[in-house]
Amino acid sequence: MDLPLGPEVDAWPRALPAREKIMGSRVSLEPLQRRHAAELFDAATGADETFAYLPYGPFHRRAEMDAFIARYCALPEAAFWTVRPVTSGRASGWLSLMNIEPANAAIELGNIWFGPELQRTRAATEAMFLLLRHAADELGYRRLVWKCNALNAASRRAAERLGFTYEGTLRAHMVVKGRMRDTAMYSITEAEWPLRRDAMLAWLAPENFDAQGNAIRGLAALRG
């Protein structure tokens, strides 16, 4: 047969992520549980704008946060973690591995919500890195996915900063909170991951920060 075909790969299905605690140097990721509700509600109070592009929130009553956690902490198709920075010791956000395709070795980092005190911090970057490394290096997924509302400029910048490649936009992809959503798609492939991983590790290294806590070199520069 002379037809062009894709390369042969290890087709063994990848394992599902285990809902276990993951430790970093500046953050710990804890499987989302009921006990996190009070701290997460505090982190979300007064931060309505941070939920603009998410399918849930904002949460104006503690019961609403309880209901969210009850639904999402045990989803069979996604694994959620609470983000606890070591500097504050408070649960300040969450993120997940979702849309998991073991047979295709594809997995998405998504449902990312960081409270105001966690946003744009080293802990936030490390939280995302820990799950990407878990998926790629420990579980062997070949395709790491990031998708977001095409109008969500902050999420698109985050994807590009981490080294995700823009693949295109799915037009009229879904309805979220009664509004039509176009979805911007990004990915990191198995061949690209080592460079992205090493750049993130170099960015997170203590020697990459000055006495005021500012990064000396950005992620794009470290990727070369």
Could you read off the pLDDT of 109-141 as tens digits, one per residue? Answer: 999 999 999 999 999 999 999 999 999 999 999
Cα 164 from Cα 145, distance rounded (Å): 8
What does the pLDDT read at residue 137? 98
What does the pLDDT read at residue 1? 64
What does the pLDDT read at residue 194? 98
Region class of 99: left (phi > 0), else alpha (psi between -120 and 50), else beta: left
* Average pLDDT over every residue of 40-45: 98
What does the pLDDT read at residue 109? 98
* Token duo for residue 194: 């080592």
**145-201 pLDDT tens trace:** 999 999 999 999 999 999 999 999 999 999 999 999 999 999 999 999 999 999 999
> Considering the domain 22-208 in this protein, what is its CATH number?
3.40.630.30
Output the pTM of the full model. 0.97
**49-106 pLDDT tens trace:** 999 999 999 999 999 999 999 999 989 899 999 999 999 999 999 999 999 999 999 9
Cα 131 from Cα 112, distance rounded (Å): 11
What does the pLDDT read at residue 2? 86
What does the pLDDT read at residue 144? 98
**Amino acid identity for residue 196 in this structure:** R
Domain ranges for the chain? 22-208
Q: Give the pLDDT band of residue 224 (cuts 50, 70, 90).
A: confident
Cα 157 from Cα 143, distance rounded (Å): 20
